[in-house]
Amino acid sequence: MIFGRTEQGKPPVEPVTLKILVAGGFGVGKTTLVGAVSEIRPLRTEELLTEAGRPVDDTSGVEGKHATTVAMDFGRISLREDLVLYLFGTPGQERFWFMWDELSEGALGAVVLADTRRLEDCFAAVDYFERRSIPFLVGVNCFEGAVRYPVEDVRRALDLDDDVPLLPCDARDRESVKEVLIGVVQHAMVYAAGRHRAVST
């Protein structure tokens, strides 16, 4: 593109915008993931953890966490000139799950982040997207010091269907997160094509 116009003299292509959710348990890295790839300053709705929330916020395994998302995170990334993703990070604690229905409205697909040290924390997100037939990919966030399990072991532990992609990733690394986002877009397109064929037959 040269000075806002393509080399063929055509105006720039109006990009397709797609909505992707980023879900998972408390402290799994959702805010970090959105911030790692967003081309704009991410919108965050974090509040400090307080003594009042201690009985309901399980910080075991994430003792260094001092803030939590109470509504959503929002970011944007252009995968190509004609494809822009809007990323919506969901709150992780159960008491904020009422936000998920509104955030998931119109979503193409979702990334469920998993931490192998607290794998059970992502069961609710997996169940949510399965029940609503929203295509999703599981990204195993590889925390420093955490045991690295074979992908198939994690798949069995989560009882995932064979067609659900599962990728190791680093939520802090832009290129790693981009691979996850590309993966969920591709999976969602295959999923949509399969449903279209099922309806047509």
- Distance from C-alpha of 63 to C-alpha of 13, rounded to nearest angstrom: 47
Q: What is the pLDDT of residues 93-109, one digit of tens each?
A: 666 667 788 889 999 99
* Domains detected in the chain: 16-200 (3.40.50.300)
- Distance from C-alpha of 4 to C-alpha of 174, rounded to nearest angstrom: 26
Per-residue tokens: 62: 């994430």
Strand order in the sheet with 67-80: 43-48, 67-80, 83-89, 16-24, 109-114, 136-141, 166-169
In the chain, the amino acid numbered 109 is G
**pLDDT at 196 (0 to 100):** 72
Let me know: does 23 contact 100? Beta carbons within 8 Å.
yes
**CB count in 10 Å sphere of residue 142:** 17
**pLDDT at 1 (0 to 100):** 46
Q: What is the pLDDT of residues 42-94, one digit of tens each?
A: 887 655 544 544 455 555 555 554 555 545 799 999 998 899 999 999 886 66
Average predicted confidence (pLDDT) for the chain: 84
Q: What is the pLDDT of residues 129-172, one digit of tens each?
A: 999 999 999 999 998 888 889 999 999 999 999 999 999 999 99
**pLDDT at 128 (0 to 100):** 94
**CB count in 10 Å sphere of residue 129:** 23
Q: In the predicted model, is pLDDT for residue 190 greater than 80?
A: yes
| 82 backbone dihedrals φ, ψ, rounded to 5° | -110, 15
Per-residue tokens: 192: 């949509």
